[in-house]
Amino acid sequence: GEPIVQNTIYPRFWSLDDQLEQLLKLEPEAHRIWLALNAMMSSPNRVDDNAVSRAHDRLIARLQGAGVELIAMDHAFPQWMTLTRCRDPKAHGCIPRRDMRAGSTYRRFLDNYEATWRTLARRFAKIRRWEPGNETNHDPFLKPAFGRFSFVDKAAITTDLMYRAHRGIHAAN
């Protein structure tokens, strides 16, 4: 896997077509696509029609046309999803502390998370394999707004995330 569309967004990297050409020369059987949901979504229920989502459409069509099985992945937690600000302004996504009480920020975050994956699975319906999350044991990819999560916290949160992503994906696709 390689964040092909993200590499296209920044001018110092290859164009989408050049990257696809090089990738297809490797004759892959499968490819892990980084979705960049924080760049193509502005809410849990909507994929914006922008350059990022259109680039993903081109990428998906070209790779599937070549017989490549796709695995869609993302590990972003934008603020519109988490309802939580990061203490570190350079951080790219923090989640609220795990609180399973009805109406908690964490429960509302899980609702947004599920809706996001449902929206992605509906929008990219030709994709059959999904990888919600990446390295949730690693602090940069799963972090609270303040402090750190313990390994026990991370295991419980990861379980919540996988369960809710599973529900969202299967509801749509």
pLDDT at 167 over 70: yes
Residue 141 near residue 71 (C-beta atoms within 8 A): no
| Interior angle at CA 141, CA 135 and CA 145, nearest 5 | 145
What phi and psi, each to the nearest 5 degrees, are found at residue 164?
Answer: -70, -35
Quick check: 164 pLDDT over 90? yes
- What percent of the chain lies above the pLDDT cut of 90? 71
Which ranges constitute the DSSP H helices of 66-104? 79-82
Instruction: Check: CB of residue 20 under 8 Å from CB of residue 63.
Output: yes
On the question of pLDDT at 45 being above 90, the answer is yes
Between CA 109 and CA 165 the distance in angstroms is: 12
Average pLDDT over residues 52-74: 95
- Write down the pLDDT at residue 8: 79
pLDDT given for residue 43 in this prediction: 97
The answer to whether residue 50 scores a pLDDT higher than 80 is yes
User: Does residue 41 carry a pLDDT above 90?
Assistant: yes
pLDDT in tens, 107-136: 999 999 999 999 999 999 999 999 998 889
Each residue's pLDDT tens digit, 67-96? 999 999 999 999 999 999 888 776 668 999
Q: What is the pLDDT of residues 23-40, one digit of tens each?
A: 999 999 999 999 989 899
- Which structure tokens are listed for 96? 């609220």
pLDDT at res. 11: 61
Least confident span in 9-18, 42-51, 114-123? 9-18
